[in-house]
Amino acid sequence: MTLVESTAPPPPSALPLSPLARAARIFTSPATAWAGLEAGGRWQRWGFPLTVTVVLEVALSWATYHRALLPDMFQRWEQAVANGQMPPEQVENMTKFFTENWVAVATTLGSIVIVVPLVILLQALMVWFGTGFVLGARFKFSQGVGVVAWSGLVYLPASLVRYGYGWVQQSFEGLHLGLGVLLPEQDTPTKLHAGLTVFLDAISPFTAWYLAVVVLGTAVLSGAPRRNVAWVLVTLYLAFVAFSAAVAALFSPGT
């Protein structure tokens, strides 16, 4: 009797989705967007969403560089001169460099290529810590990178809103996508106001959407209950935001 090795294909749930199909599910059905994530290569696990995010951020930053970013920088420098914190000659040299030198543009846009992956790695570390250590679930750091990278696609509409605002207003000043819009503007900024602005701006519909997708993806890949994952990750996020707000308040001008 001859033994024939089974070559039956894996069940459909284990088959990796195409990058475009997975991206579509992130927006339409995030709970089913993680099928076969570990079965694919790096491009499918996190390379595709990371590339899309970086390319879009660089393109939008380039489009608003001269129209919104530089005017905001010039305004802050002029205020520094008025406060006696910077000599006019230095402002003149910096203005010439950022408006006429291609190195300034390349450096500004190139920083996005570095910052975006670092932010994803930091957030993945938080997700991995919360799921793997706090909850004790079987969850690898590479899975956290994949969840964060794919979930980050829901922030792309926020980027379109942010850069669209900058293009129309020719400035990013006064833009609040979160609860920071509820704080009244102050003629004389204070450290408390700066810290509250950072904290409240981090609480927005886009953030809630992003956290919901992260929770769904983490629960699917780790097998941990969604409610437990949600409590841990939201708590860690709020703790991180509170720390960031405290740092911003500490280094901000004012009393």
Whether residue 2 is predicted with pLDDT greater than 50 in this model: the reply is: no
Instruction: Say how many Å lie between the first and final Cα of the chain, rounded.
Output: 87
Tell me, what's the pLDDT at 223?
Answer: 93
Tell me, what's the pLDDT at 254?
Answer: 65
What pTM value is reported for the model? 0.87
Output 210 or 2, whichever has higher pLDDT: 210
Confidence of residue 142 (pLDDT cuts 50, 70, 90): very high
Residue 21's alpha-carbon distances to 16, 29, 35, 147, 218, in angstroms, are: 10, 11, 11, 15, 19
Whether residue 8 is predicted with pLDDT greater than 80 in this model: the reply is: no
Mean pLDDT for 96-101 is 86
Confidence of residue 11 (pLDDT cuts 50, 70, 90): very low
Percent of the chain with pLDDT over 70: 93
Whether residue 1 is predicted with pLDDT greater than 50 in this model: the reply is: no
> Of 125, 145, 159, 127, which Cα lies nearest the Cα of 53?
159
Least confident of 29-33, 98-102, 120-124, 215-219: 98-102
